[in-house]
Amino acid sequence: MIIQTSTANFLIEKSESKKGCVSIRSNSQDELNRFFGSLEISLTEDLFYSYEIQPCKQEFANAMILMVKEIDYSEFVEFSLQMA
């Protein structure tokens, strides 16, 4: 799954090395720190998704809640009017 925000891109996949966890790669180390501050961030060889963490599913769910809370819904009004 890919999640794009105004400040970063995130690639979420099943972790192959840690059972019950997900692998999250991003182009922004700062955003990974902001959403998953207590987890170790490692460098990858991927040029677009240079940083990676492997949170458990509960840590990922908590970060998703924060992301949803940050959505600026005022931008959707303009979009939905254009689609009508």
**Which pLDDT tens digits describe the chain residue by residue (84 residues)?**
999 888 999 999 999 888 989 999 999 999 999 999 889 999 999 999 999 999 999 999 999 999 998 887 776 666 555 555
Instruction: Give pLDDT, residue 39.
Output: 92
Angle at 13 between CA 67 and CA 47, to 5 degrees: 90
| Residue in 60, 52, 68 with CA at minimum distance from that of residue 35 | 60
Strand, helix or coil for residue 40: coil
**Which residue in this structure is represented by tokens 């970063």?**
8
Instruction: Give pLDDT, residue 41.
Output: 96
How far, in Å, CA of 60 to CA of 23, rounded? 10
Could you give the C-alpha distances from 23 to 26, 27, 31, in angstroms and in order? Answer: 10, 14, 15
Going across the sheet that includes 42-43, the strands are 2-4, 9-14, 22-26, 51-53, 42-43
